[in-house]
Structure 1
Amino acid sequence: MEIRSLFQAFELDLMESSAYEARIHTNTFFEMVFILTGNGVQIINDHRLPYSMDKLFLIFPQDKHGFEVAETTKFFFIRFTHDYLKTHSREWIQKLEYIFHNYNHLPGCILKTITDKPLVRALVEALIREHINQQPQQQEVVKQLINTIITIAARNVLLMHPVLSDQSKVNTGWALLSYIHQHIYNPEQLKAEKIAEYFNISRTYISEYFKSQTGQVLQEYIITYKMKLIETRLQFTDLQINEIVNEFGFSDASHLNRLFKKYKGISPTAFKKSFVGSYN
């Protein structure tokens, strides 16, 4: 299978195709695809779903993907690397992490809000104009437009799987998991008594209830989810170990090292070094 790489922080590409071929491949970078015109079938990880105009797709590194074109299609690609992510604030990266670990990687448009489709189209058309016309501060404008599209995508993922408000709490497995995802950077809110209070469940019953709804042990799930996010931190940012310790509420670096080694089999430092130069 073909593996495609990117040799700059980000790349924009406008392509029109009438060919009917899947062209299944994987990337070493992230990709967003907007359909300007045309229709056909999108394929991700052996799943298939029709695509049409004004659809936006998220494709992650190592996803097997391609498009079968039924009607001549104009695609607009936004591609960006791990290095591109490193240039942004911690808060912005946390938004991306929510996408990375909650989006199901199945085919289908990420835009679930009707009003966001014309908004993203306008942003894409602005990107195309900036890409074609050489204007002052072009790169800065392009980056702002890209970041806005990514933020809109993050919002739509959140709307697909919302944390329920106090007025509409439903004690489902997803609501429990979503609560943890939203509070993963706040250890105080992840205590069993806080979760029990939020869902109006007995403190002595919350662990049993969590397992009955999700099939997983509460504290093990919290730790595993933290470790996945820390993997993302180690790959996508230049944060030092002590900064990660503070951000995720570990008592000290040895506590993080012990848990991460149990989870991945190697230390956080060794894990981070294994990615140095991997995506150049």
Structure 2
Amino acid sequence: MQIRNLYEPFEIEYVETSECPITGHKHNFFELVYIIDGTGVQCINKNKWTYGPEKLFLLMPQDCHSFEVERATRFFFIRFNDVYLKEQGKEWLRKLEFIFQNHNRLPGCILKNKADKPLVKSLVEALIREYVNQQPYQRELCQQIVNTLLTVVARNVSLASTELPKNTESKDQSILGYIHKNIYTPELLKTDEMAAQFNISPNYIGEYFKKLTGESLQQYIINYKLKLVETRLQYSDMRMNEIAFELSFTDESHLNRLFKKYKGLSPSEFRRQKTALTAG
């Protein structure tokens, strides 16, 4: 299978086709695919979804995908890699954590909030204008527009993952979304606070959570924090003590011990491995 590389931190591409030249491939970067017009089927990791105008798909590194074009289609691709993410800084990375950790819960088009669809359309149209006109400061403007677009995507993932559901199974997803949203505010993740939020007895919420997820509430919070540690080790230049402080570990040693216990290697070893893979 073909593997595509990105040689710049960030790029955009406009493609118009009535055939099916986009065969199955993987790549080592993030990609947003916006359908300007046309219809067909996109296959992502052997799962198929129909596409149409104003659909937006998110592809993560190592996703396998292809297109089956049914009606002449205009695609707009936005690609960026870990170098681009590191350039944006810690606060911007935090905005994207919902994307990194929750995007697979949202099959197909990433836009679940209908009110955001015209906004995304106007952002893509602005990108196309900049792409075509090639005026001064074109790259800087494109980068600002892309950052806005990615923030809209993060909001859609956040809204969908914290949406209050109508049945027991989806309430579990709502609790998970609440944890993800408030992971930087430990006081909101206390048992009494969460029980009040979801109208569940404080004495029962732990049992309820374990019944639905197979792990304890505290264990889930630890595992999620460690996923965020992985994200920061791979996509930022933050020092270990900065990560420990932001994610409310006792100190750097506490973070190192937990990470090695659950991941089998130290945070610094994990970062070196990911850096070597990217360089290769």
TM-score (norm 2): 0.92
1:148 matched residue in structure 2 = 148
Q: CA offset at residue 53 of structure 1?
A: 1.0
2:263 matched residue in structure 1 = 264
Deviations along 1:203-251, one digit per CA (max 9) or x if unpaired, are 3322112112333211111111111111000000000000001000011
Which consecutive residues of structure 2, in runs of 5 or more, have no partner in the other structure?
Answer: none
User: Is the 1:43–1:107 contact (alpha carbons within 8 Å) kept by the matching residues of 2?
Assistant: no
Deviations along 1:110-137, one digit per CA (max 9) or x if unpaired, are 1123332222122111111111223222
Q: CA offset at residue 106 of structure 1?
A: 6.1
User: Is the 1:47–1:106 contact (alpha carbons within 8 Å) kept by the matching residues of 2?
Assistant: no
Q: CA offset at residue 66 of structure 1?
A: 1.1
Q: Which moved more, 1:137-146 or 1:103-112?
A: 103-112
2:108 matched residue in structure 1 = 108
- Size of the aligned set, in residue pairs, is 278
1:57 matched residue in structure 2 = 57
User: Is the 1:183–1:190 contact (alpha carbons within 8 Å) kept by the matching residues of 2?
Assistant: yes
Q: Does 1:74 align with 2:74?
A: yes
User: Is the 2:23–2:66 contact (alpha carbons within 8 Å) kept by the matching residues of 1?
Assistant: yes
| Inter-partner Cα distance in structure 2 for 1:12 and 1:219 | 42
2:159 matched residue in structure 1 = 159
User: Is the 1:44–1:105 contact (alpha carbons within 8 Å) kept by the matching residues of 2?
Assistant: no
2:213 matched residue in structure 1 = 214
Deviations along 1:53-100, one digit per CA (max 9) or x if unpaired, are 111110001111111111111111000000101112323211211111
**Letter of the 2:207 counterpart:** E
Q: Which moved more, 1:155-164 or 1:118-127?
A: 155-164
Secondary structure of 1:78 counterpart: strand
| Inter-partner Cα distance in structure 1 for 2:12 and 2:124 | 10
Q: Which moved more, 1:205-214 or 1:240-249?
A: 205-214
Q: CA offset at residue 192 of structure 1?
A: 2.3
| Inter-partner Cα distance in structure 1 for 2:40 and 2:163 | 34
2:274 matched residue in structure 1 = 275
Secondary structure of 1:98 counterpart: helix
Q: Does 1:97 align with 2:132?
A: no
**Letter of the 2:256 counterpart:** N
| Inter-partner Cα distance in structure 1 for 2:75 and 2:199 | 48
Q: Does 1:24 align with 2:24?
A: yes
User: Is the 2:106–2:157 contact (alpha carbons within 8 Å) kept by the matching residues of 1?
Assistant: no
- The structure with the largest helix share of the pair is 2
Q: CA offset at residue 164 of structure 1?
A: 4.3
| Inter-partner Cα distance in structure 2 for 1:201 and 1:276 | 44
Deviations along 1:142-198, one digit per CA (max 9) or x if unpaired, are 111101111111111122222549xx9989211221111111112222222332233
User: Is the 1:44–1:107 contact (alpha carbons within 8 Å) kept by the matching residues of 2?
Assistant: no
**Letter of the 1:210 counterpart:** F
1:34 matched residue in structure 2 = 34
| Inter-partner Cα distance in structure 2 for 1:107 and 1:173 | 18
| Inter-partner Cα distance in structure 2 for 1:66 and 1:254 | 44
**Letter of the 2:118 counterpart:** P
Secondary structure of 1:239 counterpart: coil
| Inter-partner Cα distance in structure 1 for 2:163 and 2:2 | 39
Query: Judging changes above 3 Å, is the alpha-carbon distance between structure 1 residues 117 and 196 closer, same or farther for their aligned structure 2 residues?
Result: closer
| Inter-partner Cα distance in structure 2 for 1:207 and 1:101 | 23
